[in-house]
Amino acid sequence: MGAWQLAEAVTLRPEAFGGMAFHRERGITLEVDAEAYRFLCTCLEPRPLPPPDHPAARLVPQLARLGFLAPAEDGRKAEDGRKAEDGRKAEDGRKQVQPVPHVPWLGDGFTLSAPETVHLAITARCNLSCPGCYVPRFAGPELTTAELRGLVDQWAQMHVFQLAVGGGEPLLREGLFDVLAYARERDIVPNLTTNGMLLTPDVLRRLEWAGVARVNLSWNGPGGGGQGRAVAQALRMLLDSTLQVGVNLLVTPALLPGLPHLLARLHALGVRQVTILRPKPPAIPSEAGAVWYAANRLRRADLLRLRAIMDSWQGVLALEVDSALVGLMGQADPAALRRRGIRGCAAGRRMCTVWPAGRVTPCSFLAGPAGSGPSGRGFSAGDVRQVDFAELWARGENWNALRDPTRQPQGGCTGCKVASQCGGARCVARYECGDLIAGDAECPHFGKGATCAS
Amino acid sequence: MRILSVRHTFEADHSSSTYEFFALDKLAPEQRAAVQELTGEAPHRHLSFHYMGDWSNIPSDWTERLLTLGYDVMVSESYDWWAVHLSLPHDPGLAERLQQYECESDGNGFDVHVAGERMILYFGMQLDYSAVYNAFGEDVFEGLADLFEAVREELLAGDLSAVRATYQTYGGYGEAEPEPVQMSTSEPLSKSGEKLLNIMENY
What is the rounded distance in angstroms from the CA atom of residue A3 to the CA atom of residue A75?
Answer: 4
Confidence of residue A222 (pLDDT cuts 50, 70, 90): low
pLDDT value for B202: 67
Contacts of A443 (CB under 8 A, 6+ apart): A300, A303, A327, A330, A412, A413, A416, A424
Query: How does DSSP assign B170-201, residue by residue?
Result: HTT--TTPPSPP---SSSPPPHHHHHHHHHHH
The three state secondary structure string of A111-136 is CCCCCCEEEEECCCCCCCCCCCCCCC
pLDDT value for A420: 77
Contact with chain A for residue B114, Cβ under 8 A: no
Contact with chain B for residue A55, Cβ under 8 A: yes
Cis peptide before A168 (omega within 30 of 0): yes
Which of A61, A244, A337 is nearest residue B10 as measured by Cβ atoms? Answer: A244
The CB density around residue A52, as the number of other CB atoms within 10 Å, is 9
pLDDT value for A85: 36
CA distance A137 to chain B (A): 29
Query: How does DSSP assign chain B, residue by residue?
Result: --EEEEEE-SS----EEEEEEE-SSPPPHHHHHHHHHHHSS---SEEEEEEESTT----TTHHHHHHTTT--EEEEEETTEEEEEEEEE--HHHHHHHHTT---BTTBEEEEEEETTEEEEEEEEE--HHHHHHHHTT-HHHHHHHHHHHHHHHHHTT--HHHHHHHHHHTT--TTPPSPP---SSSPPPHHHHHHHHHHHT-
Residues of chain B neighbouring A319 (CB-CB closer than 8 A): 12, 53, 55
The one-letter amino acid code at B189 reads: L
Confidence of residue A163 (pLDDT cuts 50, 70, 90): very high
Q: Which span out of A87-101, A115-129, B11-25 was modeled with the highest average pLDDT?
A: A115-129
Residues of chain B neighbouring A335 (CB-CB closer than 8 A): 106-107
Chain A nearest-CA residue for B59: A331
Confidence of residue A89 (pLDDT cuts 50, 70, 90): very low
Q: Which of residues 126-185 of B touch A (CB under 8 A)?
A: 126, 128, 169
For chain B, the residue count is 203
Contact B1 A33 (CB under 8 A): yes
C-alpha distances (whole Å) from A260 to each of A6, A256, A265, A311, B63 are 43, 8, 9, 11, 32
Confidence of residue A324 (pLDDT cuts 50, 70, 90): confident
Tens of pLDDT along A40-49? 999 999 988 8
* Among B63, B46, B6, CA closest to A27: B6
> For a pLDDT cut of 90, what percent of chain B falls above it?
50
What is the rounded distance in angstroms from the CA atom of residue A82 to the CA atom of residue A161?
Answer: 30
Is residue A409 within 8 Å of A424, Cβ to Cβ?
yes
A404 alpha carbon, distance to own chain's centre: 21
Contact A31 B4 (CB under 8 A): yes
| Residue A213: strand, helix, or coil | coil
| Residue A224: strand, helix, or coil | coil
pLDDT value for B173: 61
What is the rounded distance in angstroms from the CA atom of residue A54 to the CA atom of residue A72?
Answer: 20
* Among B20, B29, B111, CA closest to B69: B29
Tens of pLDDT along A407-434? 777 777 777 777 777 778 888 888 888 8
Confidence of residue A93 (pLDDT cuts 50, 70, 90): very low
pLDDT value for A82: 34
Q: Kindly report the CA angle at B140 between B135 and B144, in degrees rounded to 5?
A: 80
Which of A162, A341, A417 is nearest residue B5 as measured by Cβ atoms? Answer: A341
Which of B1, B53, B106 is nearest residue A56 as measured by Cβ atoms? Answer: B1
Mean pLDDT of A286-299: 88
Phi, psi of B168 (to 5 degrees): -60, -35
Is residue A328 within 8 Å of A444, Cβ to Cβ?
yes
Contact A36 B59 (CB under 8 A): no
pLDDT value for B8: 83
Question: How confident is the prediction for chain B on average, in pLDDT?
Answer: 85
The region, left, alpha or beta by phi > 0 then psi within -120 to 50, assigned to residue B51 is: beta
Confidence of residue A446 (pLDDT cuts 50, 70, 90): low
pLDDT value for A374: 52
Contact with chain B for residue A35, Cβ under 8 A: yes
pLDDT value for A42: 93
Is residue A300 within 8 Å of A444, Cβ to Cβ?
yes
Q: Which of A63-67, A145-149, A223-227, A246-250 has the lowest mean pLDDT?
A: A223-227
- Please name the residue ranges forming H helices in A197-274: 201-209, 228-239, 259-269
Mean pLDDT of A364-369: 79
Mean pLDDT of A305-334: 80
Chain A nearest-CA residue for B198: A58
Asked if pLDDT for residue A375 goes beyond 60, the answer is no
Which of A36, A311, A315 is nearest residue B3 as measured by Cβ atoms? Answer: A36
Is residue A227 within 8 Å of A195, Cβ to Cβ?
yes
Asked if pLDDT for residue A301 goes beyond 70, the answer is yes
Confidence of residue A92 (pLDDT cuts 50, 70, 90): very low
Contact with chain B for residue A311, Cβ under 8 A: yes
Mean pLDDT of B99-126: 90
Contact B1 A336 (CB under 8 A): no
Which of B2, B3, B56 is nearest residue A311 as measured by Cβ atoms? Answer: B56
Q: Global pTM?
A: 0.81
Which of A29, A61, A214 is nearest residue B7 as measured by Cβ atoms? Answer: A29
Phi, psi of A194 (to 5 degrees): -140, 160
What is the rounded distance in angstroms from the CA atom of residue A252 to the CA atom of residue A306?
Answer: 10
* Among A340, A21, A13, CA closest to B7: A340
Which of B1, B6, B10 is nearest residue A55 as measured by Cβ atoms? Answer: B1
What is the rounded distance in angstroms from the CA atom of residue A61 to the CA atom of residue A70?
Answer: 10
For chain A, the residue count is 454
Confidence of residue B183 (pLDDT cuts 50, 70, 90): low
What is the rounded distance in angstroms from the CA atom of residue B66 to the CA atom of residue B59?
Answer: 11
Q: Classify strands A162-166 and A117-121 as parallel, antiparallel or unpaired.
A: parallel
Asked if pLDDT for residue B75 goes beyond 60, the answer is yes
> For a pLDDT cut of 70, what percent of chain A falls above it?
86
Asked if pLDDT for residue A139 goes beyond 80, the answer is no
Residues of chain B neighbouring A332 (CB-CB closer than 8 A): 54-55, 57
Which of A27, A332, A338 is nearest residue B57 as measured by Cβ atoms? Answer: A332
> For a pLDDT cut of 90, what percent of chain A falls above it?
43
* Helix, strand, coil percent values for chain A (each to nearest 5): 35, 15, 50
* Among A115, A94, A182, CA closest to A363: A115
Q: What is the dihedral of CA A18, B200, A78, A33, to 10 degrees?
A: 0
Chain A nearest-CA residue for B82: A336
Confidence of residue A80 (pLDDT cuts 50, 70, 90): very low
Q: Classify strands B73-78 and B81-89 as parallel, antiparallel or unpaired.
A: antiparallel
Handedness of CA B177, B181, B184, B189 (dihedral sign): negative
pLDDT value for A86: 36
Question: How confident is the prediction for chain A on average, in pLDDT?
Answer: 84
Confidence of residue B77 (pLDDT cuts 50, 70, 90): confident
Asked if pLDDT for residue B5 goes beyond 70, the answer is yes
Residues of chain A neighbouring B79 (CB-CB closer than 8 A): 336, 339-340
Asked if pLDDT for residue A309 goes beyond 80, the answer is yes
The CB-side HSE value for B126 (13 A sphere, CA atoms) comes to: 22
The secondary element (H helix, E strand) that includes residue A404 is: none
Phi, psi of A218 (to 5 degrees): -85, 130
pLDDT value for B117: 93
Mean pLDDT of A146-175: 96
Residues of chain A neighbouring B14 (CB-CB closer than 8 A): 318
Distance, first Cα to last Cα, chain A: 60
Q: Which span out of A439-443, B80-84, B178-182 was modeled with the highest average pLDDT?
A: B80-84
Cβ neighbourhood burial of A29 (10 Å; 0-12, 13-18, 19+): buried
Asked if pLDDT for residue B203 goes beyond 70, the answer is no
Asked if pLDDT for residue A83 goes beyond 50, the answer is no
CA distance B140 to chain A (A): 19
What is the rounded distance in angstroms from the CA atom of residue A91 to the CA atom of residue A89?
Answer: 7
pLDDT value for B12: 58
Q: CB pairs below 8 Å between A and B: how many?
A: 134
The CB-side HSE value for A410 (13 A sphere, CA atoms) comes to: 15
pLDDT value for A224: 47
Q: Which of A65-79, A122-136, A151-165, B141-155 has the lowest mean pLDDT?
A: A65-79
Residues of chain A neighbouring B3 (CB-CB closer than 8 A): 30-32, 36, 59, 62-63
Residues of chain B neighbouring A333 (CB-CB closer than 8 A): 57, 60, 78
pLDDT value for B107: 78
Q: Classify strands A382-383 and A359-361 as parallel, antiparallel or unpaired.
A: antiparallel
Confidence of residue A303 (pLDDT cuts 50, 70, 90): confident
Residues of chain A neighbouring B55 (CB-CB closer than 8 A): 307, 310-311, 319, 321, 325, 328-329, 332
Contact with chain B for residue A415, Cβ under 8 A: no
Is residue B32 within 8 Å of B84, Cβ to Cβ?
no
Confidence of residue A152 (pLDDT cuts 50, 70, 90): very high
